[in-house]
Copies of this chain bind each other. A is one copy, B any other.
Amino acid sequence: MRSGGRAPNALRTVQLTPHVNKYAEGSVQVEFGDTRVICLASVEEKVPPFLKGKGTGWVTAEYAMLPRATDQRTPREVTRGNPSGRTHEIQRLIGRSLRAVVDFTKLGERTIYLDCDVIQADGGTRTAAITGAFVALVLAARKLQAAGVVTDMPVKDYLAAVSVGTVNGTPLLDLDYNEDSKAEVDMNVVGTGDGRLVEVQGTAEQRPFSRENMNALLDLAMQGIRELITLQRQLLGLLE
């Protein structure tokens, strides 16, 4: 039995609260159950060296957790001097996923930073971060459109992410921390509004998994992504 009597294929309660920061060009607080992430989009009028003078833009992400976002306090990464491997992996994943739905020519020669700071963690922080960062990105793009800096919406399609996993042989959607720590297989999936895939990262946590198990998990993830995108659409409407 899942916490709160949730069905195996049910998402946790998802909340998207926009405009939570008065400075950022786009901002949203995303909640997947008790997982809570502030996603802020900041526009800077410059690009990384490898894009200078090409007329196209860039999107990059940074991810961090407050020390007590977790059950046990985790020391700040600045104390050890550099981001952990886990942090690197997650922020690379967020940036790569969002770039998959951006038309950089339409964005023009500027960078959008997506800062995803986990205020409270209960499993699925990276997928909540991607789902929230997408909203912040669209809000920032609209601000650029409203200011006449950008003509056409540079975001091409909706994008959301969800975790799935096998616990005691049962495929589950949107694992909380407790489920995640017992999962035999753990998979993070990023997908788009037109039903395609952007990232699939499946990992055998306890034992190798079969192709059939993988397919069941992917089915579940794609259903969850459709539901998340429905929620995003209620907030953002048409991308234009």
Task: Evaluate contact between A23 and B64: CB separation under 8 angstroms.
Answer: no
- Specify which chain B residues have a CB less than 8 angstroms from the CB of A84 in the assembled complex: 88
Task: Evaluate contact between B204 and A120: CB separation under 8 angstroms.
Answer: no
Indicate the size class of the contact surface on chain A: 35 or more
Task: Evaluate contact between B209 and A196: CB separation under 8 angstroms.
Answer: yes
Task: Evaluate contact between B81 and A82: CB separation under 8 angstroms.
Answer: yes
Q: How far is the CA of A208 from the CA of B161 in the complex (A)?
A: 13
Q: How far is the CA of A96 from the CA of B208 in the complex (A)?
A: 11
Q: Mark A198-235, 1 if CB is under 8 A from B, else 0.
A: 11111110011111001000100010000000000000
Q: Given A120-B22, A198-B204, do A222 and B218 touch, yes or no (CB 8 Å)? A: no
* Contact for A73 among B42, B194, B201, CB less than 8 A: B42
- Specify which chain B residues have a CB less than 8 angstroms from the CB of A113 in the assembled complex: 67-68, 73
With A38-B66, A64-B78, A85-B88 known, 7 other A-B pairs at CB within 8 A are A22-B120, A68-B115, A73-B115, A78-B82, A83-B85, A197-B214, A199-B203
